[in-house]
């Protein structure tokens, strides 16, 4: 029977490295995925993921348990990602905007493209790695805050309440930010879908 | 389209199941007769699934075999005292190998109990009393005994040792009359006097071990 996160955290606090290892193994792939989505570089994403768990280990005594462990973990991960992005931007002499306003395109130009082309079974459509890379590219076009919220929602399946706790924003902001992020992503992915996924339409059935 | 403006921002929480029950019912009423908004919902759902599967695919690529070790290499743990390390090891055993630990403790307790009773059952046997061959129940000394050993070499390297009661022999000798044999000197020491006595009087007889 799987041991719950809180029990593992308590044991890890007492110095039980095996408990901490179980926590790491439970979340390592998802943390890496979120980091990859944010920093867009595999090596840096791995570095961020390792650093996030190292911070978890160092600050485990400070985890109060008033939120779930994984919201705290992802908060640390996102902060580590933001640090990386800031350092990268400062090297390039850029200023990173985290509150970029996104113009919402509510035109009907791309409506139904994704649903029609990809159907309700995305697994079939992702037989080609190319599409996964397109998703990564499209995500990279988003501002960091929108990227973060989409990743946490889609990869971890976080509720709006957990998203609010992780990102330390009101629930209403979660709703609007996620909506804007999805609309922008939809536009980018629909453009790709329209350019040609090279799929046999019968595969969608 | 204008009528859809108020519903479009709700489509995202709708596919996430985060709308209130009343909000969901109203939106479903709108979707029932708006094909455009239904297509939008399809797009959101397709995109959501795409994101999830796509990133799972990308996350499967790296090798996580040494991931934990690399994490720990970044951490400099405080060195635990020997007592703390021992305590932690024992508590880990009880958490992760509980069944094995309990059965081992039970076995060890039973073995200890049996071993202790066996040890206590054995009396202290002085060396030289053949404790390897039989179990000595009691050792009694006879303070007034005056004995000397008679060592007989037997076959197969065995040795038979008799303890001859000097006093008995002397008394027997005295009873038969003096033969002019002086009381052997050093009788009590029992070293060489036994050689001076006639053979029949040297016949050993048994006594208590």
Rounded average pLDDT over B173-195: 47
pLDDT of A27 reads: 93
pLDDT of B151 reads: 82
Residue B208 has pLDDT above 50, yes or no: yes
Pick from B47, B76, B95 the residue to mutate for testing the A interface (most A CBs within 10 Å).
Answer: B47
Residue located via tokens 């005056």: B146
Pick from A8, A109, A112 the residue to mutate for testing the B interface (most B CBs within 10 Å).
Answer: A112
pLDDT of A159 reads: 93
Residue B135 has pLDDT above 60, yes or no: yes
SS3 B153: strand
Q: A148-152, A169-173, B145-149: lowest mean pLDDT where?
A: B145-149
Comparing C-alpha atoms, which of B53, B55, B44, B12 is closest to residue A115?
B44
Comparing C-alpha atoms, which of A27, A26, A25, A46 is closest to residue A36?
A46
pLDDT of B152 reads: 84
| Cβ–Cβ under 8 Å, residues B50 and A189 | yes
Residue A61 has pLDDT above 70, yes or no: yes
Over the stretch A165-184, which tens digit does the pLDDT of each residue have? Answer: 999 999 999 999 999 999 98
Rounded average pLDDT over B87-100: 73
Residue B146 has pLDDT above 90, yes or no: no
pLDDT of B137 reads: 73
Task: Report the chain B residue with the minimal C-alpha distance to residue A152.
Answer: B52
**Is A65 part of a structural domain of the chain?**
yes
SS3 B148: strand
Over the stretch A24-58, which tens digit does the pLDDT of each residue have? Answer: 999 999 899 899 889 988 899 999 999 999 999 98
Instruction: Give the domain-ending residue among A92, A127, A160.
Output: A92
- Chain A residues close to B47, C-beta within 8 Å: 114, 182, 185-186, 189
Position A108 confidence tier, pLDDT thresholds 50, 70, 90: very low
Rounded average pLDDT over A115-129: 54
Q: Which of residues 129-158 of A touch B (CB under 8 A)?
A: 129, 131-132, 135-136, 139, 150-151, 153-155
**Is A13 part of a structural domain of the chain?**
yes
Q: Is A197 on the interface with B (CB under 8 A)?
A: no
Rounded average pLDDT over A191-205: 46
pLDDT of A101 reads: 42
**Is A174 part of a structural domain of the chain?**
yes
Q: A98-102, B18-22, B26-30, B105-109: lowest mean pLDDT where?
A: A98-102
Q: A157-161, B108-112, B203-207: lowest mean pLDDT where?
A: B203-207
Supply angle C-alpha B68, B71, B72, rounded to 5.
Answer: 90
**Which one is predicted more confidently, B159 or A33?**
A33
Q: Is A122 on the interface with B (CB under 8 A)?
A: yes
pLDDT of A148 reads: 92
Residue A198 has pLDDT above 60, yes or no: no
SS3 B163: strand
- Chain A residues close to B9, C-beta within 8 Å: 175-176, 179
**ipTM more than 0.85?**
no
Q: In total, how many domains does chain A have?
A: 2
**Is A104 part of a structural domain of the chain?**
no
**Which one is predicted more confidently, B43 or B156?**
B43
Range of the domain at A126: 113-204
Residue A105 has pLDDT above 60, yes or no: no
Pick from B19, B31, B67 the residue to mutate for testing the A interface (most A CBs within 10 Å).
Answer: B67
Q: What percent of chain A has pLDDT over 70?
A: 74
Pick B12's closest partner by Cβ from A25, A139, A179: A179
Q: CATH number for the domain including A120?
A: 1.10.10.10
SS3 B154: coil
**Which pTM value belongs to this model?**
0.57
Q: Do A111 and B58 touch (CB under 8 A)?
A: no
Pick from B59, B75, B77, B95 the residue to mutate for testing the A interface (most A CBs within 10 Å).
Answer: B59
d(CA A51, CA A59): 12
Rounded average pLDDT over A108-112: 51
What average pLDDT does chain B have?
74
Rounded average pLDDT over B108-112: 91
Position B170 confidence tier, pLDDT thresholds 50, 70, 90: low
**Is A97 part of a structural domain of the chain?**
no
Q: CATH number for the domain including A20?
A: 1.10.1740.10
Rounded average pLDDT over B180-205: 48
Rounded average pLDDT over A73-100: 77
pLDDT of B29 reads: 94
In this structure, the answer to whether residues A86 and A121 fall within a common structural domain is no
pLDDT of A180 reads: 92
Position A121 confidence tier, pLDDT thresholds 50, 70, 90: low
In this structure, the answer to whether residues A118 and A197 fall within a common structural domain is yes
In this structure, the answer to whether residues A87 and A120 fall within a common structural domain is no
Pick B12's closest partner by Cβ from A32, A110, A178: A178
pLDDT of B178 reads: 47
Map B89-106 to HEC letters: HHHHHHHHCHHHHHHHHH
Q: Is A53 on the interface with B (CB under 8 A)?
A: yes
Q: Is B23 on the interface with A (CB under 8 A)?
A: no
DSSP secondary structure, B65-129, as one string: TTHHHHHHHT--PPPPPHHHHHHHHHHHHHHHSHHHHHHHHHHHHHHHHHHHHHHHHSPP--TTS
Q: Do A182 and B45 touch (CB under 8 A)?
A: no
- Chain B residues close to A29, C-beta within 8 Å: 56, 59-60, 64
Task: Report the chain B residue with the minimal C-alpha distance to residue A14.
Answer: B88
**Is A196 part of a structural domain of the chain?**
yes
Tokens encoding A17? 């490295």
In this structure, the answer to whether residues A124 and A82 fall within a common structural domain is no
Could you give the residue ranges of the DSSP H alpha helices within chain A?
A: 5-13, 17-39, 42-58, 69-92, 113-118, 122-125, 129-140, 144-156, 160-167, 171-195
In this structure, the answer to whether residues A48 and A120 fall within a common structural domain is no
Rounded average pLDDT over B20-47: 92
Residue A75 has pLDDT above 60, yes or no: yes
Please give the C-alpha separations between residue B52 and each of A53, A68, A132, B45, in angstroms, as whole numbers. Answer: 22, 22, 10, 11
**Is A103 part of a structural domain of the chain?**
no
């Amino acid at each position: 029977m799987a041991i719950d996160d809180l029990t593992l955290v308590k044991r890890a606090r007492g110095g039980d490295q095996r408990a901490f290892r179980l926590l790491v193994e439970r979340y390592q792939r998802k943390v890496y995925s979120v980091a990859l989505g944010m920093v867009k570089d595999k090596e840096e994403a791995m570095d961020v993921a390792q650093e996030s768990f190292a911070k978890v280990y160092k600050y485990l005594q400070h985890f109060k348990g008033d939120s779930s462990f994984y919201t705290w973990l992802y908060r640390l991960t996102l902060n580590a990602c933001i640090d990386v992005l800031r350092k990268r931007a400062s090297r390039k002499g850029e200023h990173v905007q985290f509150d970029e306003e996104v113009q919402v395109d509510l035109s009907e130009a791309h409506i139904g493209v994704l649903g029609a082309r990809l159907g309700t079974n995305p697994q079939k459509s992702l037989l080609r790695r190319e599409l996964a890379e397109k998703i990564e590219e499209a995500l990279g076009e988003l501002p960091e805050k929108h990227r973060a919220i989409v990743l946490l929602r889609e990869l971890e399946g976080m509720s709006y309440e957990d998203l609010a706790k992780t990102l330390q924003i009101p629930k209403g902001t979660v709703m609007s930010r996620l909506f804007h992020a999805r609309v922008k992503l939809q536009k980018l992915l629909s453009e790709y879908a329209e350019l040609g996924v090279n799929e046999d339409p019968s595969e969608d059935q | 389209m204008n009528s859809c403006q108020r519903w479009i921002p709700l489509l995202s929480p709708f596919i996430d199941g985060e709308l209130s029950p009343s909000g969901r019912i109203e939106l479903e009423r709108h979707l029932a007769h708006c094909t455009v908004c239904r297509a939008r919902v399809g797009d959101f759902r397709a995109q959501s699934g795409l994101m999830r599967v796509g990133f799972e695919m990308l996350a499967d690529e790296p090798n996580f075999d040494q991931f934990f070790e690399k994490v720990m290499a970044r951490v400099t743990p405080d060195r635990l005292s020997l007592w703390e390390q021992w305590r932690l090891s024992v508590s880990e055993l009880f958490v992760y190998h509980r069944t094995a630990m309990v059965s081992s403790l039970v076995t060890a307790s039973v073995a200890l109990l049996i071993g202790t009773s066996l040890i206590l059952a054995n009396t202290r046997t002085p060396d030289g009393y053949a404790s390897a061959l039989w179990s000595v129940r009691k050792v009694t000394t006879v303070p007034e005994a005056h004995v000397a050993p008679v060592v007989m070499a037997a076959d197969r390297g065995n040795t038979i040792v008799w303890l001859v009661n000097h006093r008995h022999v002397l008394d027997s000798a005295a009873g038969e009359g003096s033969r002019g044999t002086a009381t052997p000197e050093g009788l009590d020491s029992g070293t060489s006097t036994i050689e001076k006595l006639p053979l029949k009087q040297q016949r050993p007889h048994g006594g208590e071990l």
